A and B are shown apart, each in its own frame.
Chain A
């Protein structure tokens, strides 16, 4: 596994992903339950991919991404209630979250490891408490959005698909870019990276601002399909933790890991939530322990390995006279 550069862009893979998402649309949108599931999956994929930019590529574990998600959700909710069409609030949500992320990322990203992680918890909790007290935004009871202007299942499906695929695409492009190379270098050794000319502070803030913009967009999307934002939910610590879990289970620092982790998380959540509410986090904790003990790289690298093994098996089987 090369972390940087790698082979030619996998156009066929991307075309296949778009095709699969498009073909699945009519089936998923027809049923309100599957429609909601697909929305949640798109949301989680976007959030986990964005988290991975700073947590995986730069190695800075953030427990504070809910603060960025909440800013995006509230930006859309407040502007929408002020009469702005929801779609037009999305760029504002992205910009507001990016600005907020850059503002607190700039000082906090000077810390590394557990110190950074603790600082992010502080920022996120402070943000949640502040919004709880902020009456123009509905305070602790939050904001309810007009149901009669609901975009409808089809539009929300398309919006979510674009958001999720776009986040993964951004992640893949950064992995192959100069920015990505600098992030990998500073993750491995910040002092050696600086000695090689990498502006460690700036690289991290740029990556964090991009992650924040994507997280803010996801928050805006969330506001548009739940039609209800409340500090305990959109600024909640649960949300931040769930992102860390998804990426660790799927495969930290990889492009495919967050997708896989988001899917596993959603399946587990739905499967267990139906029978035993609130046990899903414990289940996920157990899964995480298993991953850390037996597969520290996460599921994605192992699946890729299995996939290439299967491919070579098929190739050998297809080749005439290729019995060995």
Chain B
């Protein structure tokens, strides 16, 4: 019955901090069953965009529809319960809890329903994130790659329709990146739509169906990974841009 309605549809999203417009009139569409890459130079507004979508920051203007339902203005916990979950650029673990307990938080407080006991869902998500072996370890004992996968497992345990993944490959070695991308694919195969912010180009270009490029708070290109990498505006944003030739943001 939701056929034809995009999983996530964002229109005219805007956010300013004082005089700086971090996100300006951004439109974004995530189709059912899609991985959308979101790239852009540092400071382009990608993480601010995630904070707006997930309800961590109040927006100035714009609409956010999840499966046709307006969710803009919902606080962070409500957004999660409605089925839009996120991970953090720098993992934010519950340090004194065990790995299992951390994922159980997501499984206990996320979107209701599913007919599966929270502990069973927590174990399933741990297995998918390849952390079952570390089930009873303290989170404080995990390394960076494991913490990133734990963030993914915790978000997945909330039963999201759509998942916002923020730089899950940053700082990892090539084999860890490969493993993490594999886990993203598995999550996607499980029926979860993903918006994936990433600077590691191999990872994001390899896994995304479409890529949207953001620069200075604005969308400058959308298309397949191949189209986007050939786009002159995108090349300009990544390679030029910083010599101060362009107009400054008001």
Contact = CB atoms under 8 A, between A and B. Distances in A.
B148 interface: no
Interface stretch (A11-19, A114-122, A178-186, A273-281): A178-186
Q: Which of B92, B154, B155 has the largest number of chain A CB atoms within 10 A?
A: B92
Contact of A198 (B85, B101, B109, B136): B109
B240 interface: no
B46 interface: no
A197 B101 contact: no
A199 B106 CA distance: 12
A196 B158 contact: yes
B106 A196 contact: yes
Contacts of A135: none
B150 to A, nearest CB: 11
A197 B56 contact: no
B95 interface: yes
Given A181-B105, A182-B105, A191-B92, A197 B111 contact: yes
Q: Could you tell me the dominant secondary structure of chain A's interface residues?
A: helix
Contact of B105 (A198, A199, A253): A198
Nearest to A4: B101
B97 A200 contact: no
A189 B158 CA distance: 17
B155 A196 contact: yes
Nearest to B139: A188
A146 interface: no
A2 interface: yes
A194 B96 contact: no
B101 A192 contact: no
Interface string A1-32: 01111000000000000000000000000000
- Chain A interface: which size bin? 20 to 34
B94 interface: yes
Contacts of B24: none
A184 B94 contact: yes
Given A184-B97, A189-B92, A195 B105 contact: no
B80 A195 contact: yes
A284 B171 CA distance: 47
B156 to A, nearest CB: 11
Q: Which of A3, A185, A187 has the largest number of chain B CB atoms within 10 A?
A: A185
Interface string B69-105: 0000001111011000110100011111110111011
A187 B96 CA distance: 9
Contacts of B136: 2
A196 to B, nearest CB: 4
A2 B157 CA distance: 21
B63 interface: no
A193 interface: yes
Nearest to A179: B108
B104 A197 contact: no
A197 B81 contact: yes
B108 A181 contact: yes
B246 to A, nearest CB: 34
B77 A189 contact: no
Contacts of B180: none
Contacts of B14: none
B98 A2 contact: yes
B54 interface: yes
Given A188-B97, A196-B154, A200-B77, A182 B92 contact: no
A185 B102 CA distance: 8
B247 to A, nearest CB: 34
Interface string A71-104: 0000000000000000000000000000000000
Contacts of A194: 56, 75-77, 80
Nearest to B94: A188
A159 B101 CA distance: 36
Interface string B111-152: 100000000000000000000000010000000000000000
Contact of A189 (B56, B80, B93, B111): B93
Contacts of B98: 2, 4
16 contacts: A3-B96, A4-B98, A184-B97, A185-B102, A188-B93, A189-B94, A192-B88, A192-B94, A194-B75, A195-B56, A195-B77, A197-B80, A197-B110, A197-B111, A198-B77, A198-B105
Q: Which 9 A-B pairs have the closest CB atoms?
A: A197-B109, A192-B92, A188-B94, A194-B76, A197-B80, A197-B110, A196-B106, A185-B105, A194-B77
Interface of B: 54, 56, 75-78, 80-81, 85-86, 88, 92-98, 100-102, 104-106, 108-111, 136, 154-155, 157-158
